[in-house]
Chains A and B, each alone.
Chain A
Amino acid sequence: SQTIHQWPATLVQPVGSPLSLECTVEGTSNPNLYWYRQAAGRGLQLLFYSVGIGQISSEVPQNLSASRPQDRQFILSSKKLLLSDSGFYLCAWSPAGVAQGDYNSPLHFGNGTRLTVT
Chain B
Amino acid sequence: GESVGLHLPTLSVQEGDNSIINCAYSNSASDYFIWYKQESGKGPQFIIDIRSNMDKRQGQRVTVLLNKTVKHLSLQIAATQPGDSAVYFCAEMRETSGSRLTFGEGTQLTVNP
* Closest B residue to A91 using CB positions: B43
State the total of A-B contacts with C-beta under 8 angstroms: 60
Contact of B43 among A41, A90, A105 (CB under 8 A): A90
**Complex Cα distance A108/B31, Å?**
19
Interface residues of B in 15-57 (CB under 8 A from A): 31-32, 34, 36, 41-46, 49, 51
> How many angstroms between the C-alpha atoms of A99 and B43 in the bound complex?
21
Task: Return chain B residues, CB-CB under 8 Å to A49.
Answer: 100
Which stretch from A12-20, A77-85, A110-118 is at the chain B interface?
A: A110-118
- Measured as residues with beta carbon below 8 angstroms from the partner, the interface class of chain A is 20 to 34
**Would you call B103 and A98 a contact (CB within 8 A)?**
no
Q: Do residues A46 and B98 form an inter-chain contact, with CB atoms below 8 A?
A: no
On B, residues with C-beta under 8 Å from A are: 31-32, 34, 36, 41-46, 49, 51, 89, 93, 95, 98-101, 103-106
Q: List 16 A-B contacts (CB under 8 A).
A: A32-B99, A43-B104, A43-B106, A44-B103, A49-B100, A59-B100, A98-B99, A101-B98, A103-B31, A103-B93, A103-B98, A107-B99, A109-B45, A110-B43, A111-B41, A112-B42
